[in-house]
Amino acid sequence: MRLPRDLTVDDLARALRVLGYQITRQTGSHMRLTTMQEGEHHVTVPRHNPMRVGTLSGILADVASHFKATRDDIAAKLFA
């Protein structure tokens, strides 16, 4: 699946709510999102707008690893 090219960090945070992620803290130019689904998992997201595709791909890969899914499955769930 092709990843969105104009995604903001706030859009990503809203999309990740589907998987139970919530903003737990923000320090400087980074935001930390945490989920308790299938165990505790944290992901740190830089507040760069728009988000770079490689950064987004890495974040989705990390989330996919936690949920034992593929990056494309997670992307489809979040951006379909």
**Does residue 79 contact residue 59 with C-beta atoms inside 8 Å?**
no
**How does pLDDT run across 3-27, given as a tens digit for each residue?**
999 999 999 999 999 999 999 999 8
Q: Is the pLDDT of residue 48 over 90?
A: no
pLDDT of residue 7: 92
61 falls in which pLDDT band (50, 70, 90)?
A: very high
Cβ partners under 8 Å of residue 49, min gap 6: 8, 9
**How does pLDDT run across 64-73, given as a tens digit for each residue?**
999 999 999 9
What domains are defined for the chain?
9-79 (3.30.920.30)
CA 12/CA 58 separation, integer angstroms: 13
